[in-house]
Amino acid sequence: MKYQKIDMTHLHLHSTFSELDCISKIPDIVKRAKDYGHTSIALTDHGTIAGVPQFHNECRKQGVKPILASEFYMQADANQSKADKNRTNHHLILLAMDDEGWTNIKKLTTKANEKFYYAPRIDYKDLEEHSNGLICMTACLKGIVPWSIVKEKYDEAAEHAARFKRIFGDRFYLELQDGGLDIQIKINDVLRRMAEKMGIPIVAAQDAHYVNRDDVEGHEGIWAIRTRNTFDDPIGYGPRDDLPEGTRQRPYYSTREYWLKDGHHMLNESLTTENDEQRMSTLRQSELEESSKIADRIGDVFIEKRMHLPKYEFIPDVSQVGCSAADECVPQAHYHPGDVEKGKTVDLTSFNYLCELIMKGFEKVYERSWFDRTNEHRERLARELLDIKDAGLADYFLIVWDIVSWARSMDIPVGPGRGSAAGSMVSFCLSITDVDPLEYGLIWERFYNAGRKGSLADIDVDVGKRFRPLVVQYIKDRFGEDRVAQIVTFNTLGTKAALKDTAKIIGKKDGMPYEDANVMTRFIPLKHNQPVSIKEAIETSDRMKEYSEQYPRLFRIAQKLEGCPKSRGIHAAGVIISDEPFSEGFPLRWNTKEKMLVTEWDMSVMDELGYLKMDVLGLKTMDVLWDIEKAINGEDNG
Ligand SMILES: [Zn+2]
Ligand SMILES: [Zn+2]
């Protein structure tokens, strides 16, 4: 068959953020779309949009239009099915056509996590409320429409399709896939008939879980990690007579057709079926070309990046806060309310209040009158305050001051100031830190780089470990439960873990004993105290090169798994304080272990999007110091 270029766009595919179900790295996905000559591509991870910001950046970089999307988990009624202890869920593809659609995807992600039951799940009611700007596709055979067909409940399938059509109108599509499964032939036939009868358009999709055809062994690897099997276990699940008793089966896909194909391979190449036979794809060219028409309906959606610094709203008796404090503190600059009219973004109320606090605080920490300050004090404070004013950071300092003073007033142990924040006299005067930067020759510029206008400086606050939850709760009470969230972390398979986990799953034929794998990882060279990548280890260490030659398959698979997120945790220190309710800005994710909603996006993304991150670290040593101090003072330490 002559190679045929098909006009198409991938609207259904996964990245490593579909944890333990996909090994496609985002840059590789986008590059592949580009190599195919596709002008746009979607990312539809399972129940998450964690990878969307990176995907968006990567697409912009490589000049492909990103389609922001997700493959949601759904139930017809999520609350009811939770009450029924029904763990199953269906899949549904939603693609953002415009800004409103993107906002709805974020809101639906949070809703799904509020209704978390073994997975984040939305339902019809959520879709009815948030359908604007979205294109909807029925997803894989686990979609609610295809699944009804699998169960031979054809009326139900039609009812669900009608319901989606009522919600999304002409933005609803029946999705066809062919990954070589027998059942897909039947599903596709029924969907085609439904489409004709009900006047619903159809589109073909690939549902890719790895980029290259050969990557299937890496994908099997991530699944073996997921199900805690080894490659020695036969693929399959459910009762089987042909296996010796006690054989552990390894759940995995029934075919190996889930790579990121181009149109030619999707339509014109034969597929290997679940019975290891060959048959032609049942998808049609017009069905695949519909994907390109859908992409044309989708506009350029940008992920908004701006400073999300909250305003400090707790300034007492605003009418009393005039210009005098600022004039006193920064005499070389004249401030008056007219600055605001001239288009300056400075908030004089916050800035003046900050200056007032500094005047008071100065007298306390230096134990001398404000009018007795030396030239050094004057110059230093003026320099810091000018920078703070210029960068619009007054509110930030007020927020940190508020939190630290509350903690101190509650007798919660607070650290003397860690890192570069100790180089700030403003912080010292506000008692955010306990260190006089003049006395120790600490410089302001290390804390605040005046060139980085608009970016947030970083003040780390240490508190006693057992008091940290109290401090976080205070921040929520003070700045709004709907604006404060802790931050997710992704536990990613690093060099060592990738090699060791692969050694565990690869089985006897190609594997090395686990103890040997443990020893091997000691030969991985370090760079800046971190193990280098597997590729670099092979290139730079003779020992690692020998290992890689002795165990090629292990190394091949480990390199595919390297960098894949394995699980999620919560950042030990970071707390986001947003200027608006997070329903407007960023999605939340349910953390099953800690039983709380945290950000869906990690720290680097939140930082890039301009959110204020407070670092409140709980330190055990501070608990101990606190206990000792109380014991010495003869106080009850509770
Ligand atoms: Zn699916
Ligand atoms: Zn999928």
Residue 346 pLDDT > 80: no
For residue 562, the CA-to-ligand 1 centroid distance in Å is 24
> Is pLDDT at 345 greater than 50 in this prediction?
no
Q: Closest-lying ligand to the alpha carbon of 21?
A: 2
pTM of the model: 0.92
Residues with CB under 5 A from ligand 2 (ion): 71, 207
| Rounded Cα–Cα distance for residues 149 and 146 (Å) | 5
Share of residues in the chain with pLDDT > 90 (%): 78
Q: What distance in angstroms lies between residue 43's CA and the mean position of ligand 2's atoms?
A: 10
Residue 207 Cα to ligand 2 midpoint, Å, equals: 5
Q: What is the pLDDT of residues 589-638, one digit of tens each?
A: 999 999 999 999 999 999 999 999 999 999 999 899 888 988 888 775 54
501 CA from centroid of ligand 2 (Å) = 25
**Which ligand is nearest the CA of 74, by number?**
1
The residues, ordered by sequence, that sit 6+ positions from 131 with a Cβ below 8 Å of its Cβ are 104, 167, 168, 171
Residue-wise pLDDT for 488-508, tens only, equals 999 999 999 999 999 999 998
Question: Nearest ligand to the C-alpha of residue 144?
Answer: 1
- The alpha carbon of 495 and the centre of ligand 2 are apart by a number of angstroms equal to 28
Q: How wide is the angle at C-alpha 598 spanned by C-alphas 67 and 595, nearest 5°? A: 130
588 or 334: whose pLDDT is higher?
588
Confidence of residue 333 (pLDDT cuts 50, 70, 90): low
Cα 12 to averaged position of ligand 1 atoms, centre (Å): 9
Please, which pLDDT band fits residue 584 given cuts at 50, 70 and 90? confident
pLDDT at residue number 340: 47
- Residue written as token pair 């009812």: 159
Distance from the CA of 418 to the center of ligand 2, in angstroms?
Answer: 45
3-class SS at 586? coil
Q: What angle do CA 160, 164, 169 make, to 5 degrees?
A: 145
- pLDDT tens figures, 153-190: 999 999 999 999 999 999 999 999 999 999 999 999 99
The Cα–Cα gap between 603 and 616 comes to 14
pLDDT digits 0-9 by tens, 50-61? 999 999 999 999
How close is the Cα of 563 to the center of ligand 1, in Å?
23
Q: How close is the Cα of 85 to the center of ligand 1, in Å?
A: 21
> What domains can you pick out in the chain, each with its CATH number?
26-209+253-297 (3.20.20.140), 388-489+570-632 (no CATH), 494-565 (1.10.10.1600)
Those residues with Cβ within 8 angstroms of residue 337's Cβ, 6 or more apart along the chain or in another chain: 323, 348
Ligand nearest to the CA of 92: 1
Residue 569: pLDDT over 70: yes
Task: Identify the band that residue 343 occupies on the pLDDT scale cut at 50, 70 and 90.
Answer: very low
**Closest ligand to residue 138's CA:** 1
Segment 285-303 shows an average pLDDT of 97
Quick one: which of 207, 252, 259 has its CA closest to 226?
Answer: 252
Ligand number nearest to the C-alpha of 140:
1
Nearest ligand to the C-alpha of residue 209? 2
Q: Ligand 1: distance of its center to the CA of 143 in Å?
A: 7
Q: Which residues, in sequence order, are CB contacts of 351 under 8 Å at separation 6+?
A: 326, 335, 388, 389, 394
Q: How far is the CA of 140 from the centre of ligand 1 (A)?
A: 4
Which residues does 109 contact at the CB level (< 8 Å), separation at least 6?
48, 49, 70, 120, 587, 588, 589, 600
